[in-house]
Chain A
Amino acid sequence: MAATADGAGGDGVTRRDFLEYAAGGMGAVGAAATAWAFIDNMNPAADVLALSTTEVDLEAIEPGQAITVVWQKKPVFVRRRTEAEIREAEDTPLDSLPDPEADADRVQKAEWLILVGVCTHLGCIPLGQKDTDEKGEYGGWFCPCHGSHYDTSGRIRKGPAPENLPVPPYQFLDDTRILIG
């Protein structure tokens, strides 16, 4: 299949066709690479990403009480659960949960429940941290925005939220201090 003067092969494909596809393809790759710069430009910047940690002193929290701390601009719920609350969380059969997870997998010490306090539906902050707050039908938290109920393990029980309240990474520094992040 010898090339003719204008480069046309036996199947009618010319050298010019090849050049057009090659140039067009390179152009598309270049455009996509440039577009990525503009898209990625909107992602969290390095200073925002710089992992922050938050230390919490647990000393002053009585059983049944909860405090809210801020970690990475998000509220974190720290709740010291009562015996009754722990039992309720542990005794709940997993098959009655929309997002099944055992209570033991969500705590390091059963007394201390630590959660990111952002509703997994559309991001409101659920009520239930203060004594006077409505805590929902399962005694944990209640999100007022569209009515999601969380139990005493922060697991979703009823309402539009699809997932349990997430547990942030944390470690106990000693018996009365934790480090979140």
Chain B
Amino acid sequence: MAAPRFENPIVRWIDYRLPVFTFMHHEMHEYPTPKNLNYWWNFGSLAGFMLIVMIVTGIMLAMHYTPHVDHAFDSVERIRRDVPFGWLIQFIHMNGASFFFILVYIHIFRGLYYGSYKSPREILWILGVVILLLMMATAFMGYVLPWGQMSFWGATVITNLFSAIPLVGEHIVSWLWGGFAVDNPTLNRFYSLHYLLPFIIVGVVVLHVVALHTHGSNNPLGIEARGKQDSIPFHPYYTIKDMFGLGAFLTIFCLFVFFAPDYLGHPDNYVPANPLVTPPHIVPEWYFLPFYAILRAIPDKLLGVVAMFAAIAVLFILPWLDRSPVRSARFRPIYRQVFWLLVLDCLVLGYIGSQPAEGWYIHIGRLATIYYFAHFFVILPLLSVFERPRPLPLSIGEPVLGGGSPPPRGAGGTGAMERA
């Protein structure tokens, strides 16, 4: 598209030398967006907003925080009690991590439901999974920083996962620790990396958005937008919708920050770390519980660790496990049901992860783990072959504006017909 004419001479002067305004105009005004996006499409921009919030609050916290085993716990308490508005910034950062995960998990399940991982968006999806992994590492290391009991024992258990690696496991663990146990060197390096990783996430988010803007958003119908009548400019239509969603989100977020800041946390983390006493019931933060349940479901140490990482890694190959040409679950009668079963399964895993590993919990945890993997490795490949999708509309406008002939048989969301 041709470069736009800018009224303001300064803007014009700059744009001639560094075309940032052309770029913004192109990405915001001209960027055509399917006109039928629903509210599930708000969560990407909300996650981006949350990333900025975490970076800003984190930088403020870093001005007062002391990364040393003897001072870390007290310095966080000082931030909450003595530092002006420290309580606010710390509560935003602490709850922000939880809400960041809520947003991203919803964002991911949105992608699963509407088939957003399918061609031509595989790389976009894979970059998303990379972001998830980086977020997990960042949140895990951040949770260690206040140096409470859960910080310490969470760090111990998670770093020990690597001891399951045959032969070199023990060396890797002591390399991660910088000592013989989780200790001051561990705290220092976690702080260094906790500061670094969010900026790496920003970099991957940029790539994620570049990939997104290459083919544009998927949409609830899962068919490609065709021409003018199917799309609207991002600005002002979706900017305003995103702002409205942001307002709704912030209302809920603030309820937690101001009225229940510790609701999502664990009381044991207000006990300073004690390397000689493990709390009787240790659990990770809620956003790790499903994976923790998978780890514990398997009685073998190495296989448990492998299964836990595989539970995330399977998302990388999802575009090749689900071969159905139809994207949106709206037109996939069986997939739509197994999607909700997967959601339920993840909730069950999360609950099991929060309970002690004994009695019935173990059996339910095992069944839920088997189902999780069966969904990806058995059900999806089979559905790709046996499911009969419902007919797709011809275009995004068609169901509303009417007209058009009945859809051609076998026309799929990613089929050749679409791209023609």
Contacts and interface: CB of A to CB of B under 8 A. Distances in A.
A145 B299 contact: no
A74 B180 contact: yes
Looking at A122, A159, A161, the one whose CB has the most chain B CB atoms below 10 A away is: A122
B180 A124 contact: no
Looking at B180, B183, B185, B299, the one whose CB has the most chain A CB atoms below 10 A away is: B180
Contacts of B95: none
Contacts of B302: 162
A121 B174 contact: no
A9 interface: no
A144 B157 CA distance: 12
Interface string A106-143: 00000000000000011111010000000000000001
A97 interface: no
Interface string A39-80: 100111100100000000000000000001010111100000
B296 interface: yes
Given A145-B157, A145-B282, A125 B277 contact: yes
Nearest to A41: B178
Interface string B135-165: 0000000000000000001001101110100
A43 B157 contact: no
A124 B149 CA distance: 12
A146 interface: yes
Interface in A145-167: 145-147, 159-162
Interface residues of B, number: 35
B304 A160 contact: yes
A48 B357 contact: no
Given A42-B189, A160-B300, A144 B175 contact: no
Contacts of B156: 122-124
Contact of A124 (B163, B179, B282, B296): B282
How extensive is the interface on chain A, given as a class?
20 to 34
Contacts of B178: 42-45, 48
Nearest to B274: A125
Contacts, number: 82
B278 A144 contact: yes
A42 B188 CA distance: 11
Contacts of B357: 146-147
Nearest to A69: B276
Contact of A122 (B160, B174, B358): B160
Contacts of B175: 39, 42-43
B181 interface: yes
Contacts of A125: 276-278
Contact of B301 (A44, A72, A143, A161): A161
Given A125-B277, A145-B278, A146-B296, A44 B157 contact: no
A123 B180 contact: no
A159 B363 CA distance: 14
Looking at B161, B189, B275, the one whose CB has the most chain A CB atoms below 10 A away is: B275
B5 interface: no
A60 B219 CA distance: 74
Given A124-B282, A125-B276, A44 B179 contact: yes
Nearest to B277: A125
A160 B301 contact: yes
Contacts of A45: 178, 185
Contacts of A124: 153, 156-157, 278, 282
A144 B281 contact: yes
Given A145-B157, A145-B282, A146-B357, A48 B300 contact: no
Interface string B84-108: 0000000000000000000000000
B276 A68 contact: yes
Interface string B353-364: 000111000000
Given A45-B185, A48-B185, A73 B157 contact: no
B173 to A, nearest CB: 8
A146 B153 CA distance: 13
Contact of A73 (B163, B179, B304): B179
Interface of B: 153, 156-157, 159-161, 163, 174-181, 183, 185, 189, 275-278, 280-282, 296, 298-302, 304, 356-358
Given A44-B178, A73-B275, A124-B156, 7 more contacts: A42-B175, A42-B178, A42-B189, A43-B175, A122-B301, A124-B282, A144-B278
Ranked 3 nearest A-B pairs via Cβ: A122-B160, A123-B160, A124-B278
Interface of A: 39, 42-45, 48, 68, 70, 72-75, 121-125, 127, 143-147, 159-162
29 contacts: A39-B175, A42-B189, A43-B174, A44-B180, A44-B185, A45-B185, A48-B183, A68-B276, A72-B181, A73-B180, A73-B275, A74-B180, A74-B181, A75-B275, A75-B276, A122-B156, A122-B161, A122-B301, A123-B156, A123-B159, A123-B163, A125-B278, A144-B282, A144-B356, A145-B278, A147-B358, A159-B299, A160-B301, A160-B304
